[in-house]
Amino acid sequence: MLRIEHVSKTFESGGQPLTVLRDIDLHFGAESTAALVGPSGSGKTTLLGLCAGLDRPSTGNIELGNQRLNELDEEQLAVLRREKVGFIFQSFRLIPSLTALENVMVPAELLGNREARQRARDLLGDVGLQGRHHHYPTQLSGGEQQRVAIARAFINEPSIIFADEPTGNLDDDTGGHVLDLLFGLNRDQGTTLVLVTHDHALTDRVQQVVTLRSGQVVKQSTNPSVATS
């Protein structure tokens, strides 16, 4: 489903090269769940963005489904993201001028889906926001905003979901409920789920845990207590 081959990423910082990822090799299967863990600055979020086609690696290749991302131009990458990728940000990234329903509808409308409104209504029901369709982000709590973001990520039935610290701005109780919703939708829709997290308790819920440090993979482990697809 997702294959990462000898991927490195270098930025310019103060006129000097700064390498944040070094020769990453990973594979995540279809319908699997995985967590990227490690200290701040280890390259987790950078790797997630590369895998989602939000940026390009300096060296190496990333294959999503049967497409090699380095062979796609920017327009083709945008189409790939719309059709196959859902992304959940720690900061929610909702459009403040749109209602909860309209925020969820946006990706489906970009694909010309005539069922976008009903699909968005159904997903908001799935995440427990049946009565909040017409509320704007500022009228929603942090947990409710993240639930809207989760519904938005799933609306196009993507084959893979990337989530960057999806509970990082939430308290423990709210975060736990949001994770239950995220894993439930992931299971029901049969997607691959890759999360970045500092919460090591969350790693008990995924099949594969990848630990990064200083831009390198230092450990890979599987969780035998989590069923594989």
* Distances in whole angstroms, Cα of residue 77 to Cα of each of 7, 102, 149, 164, 196: 18, 24, 21, 20, 22
pLDDT one-digit tens code per residue, 117-174: 999 999 999 999 999 999 999 999 999 999 999 999 999 999 999 999 988 888 888 8
pLDDT one-digit tens code per residue, 31-85: 999 999 999 999 999 999 999 999 999 999 999 988 999 999 999 999 999 999 9
Determine contact, residues 92/170, Cβ cutoff 8 Å.
Answer: no
CB contact burial 71-86 (16+ within 10 A = b; e otherwise): ebeeeebeebbeebbb
pLDDT one-digit tens code per residue, 77-118: 999 999 999 999 988 999 999 999 999 999 999 999 999 999
Please indicate, yes or no, whether the overall pTM of this predicted structure exceeds 0.85: yes
* Distances in whole angstroms, Cα of residue 191 to Cα of each of 157, 163, 177, 222: 8, 13, 19, 18
Enumerate domains of the chain plus CATH numbers. Answer: 2-222 (3.40.50.300)
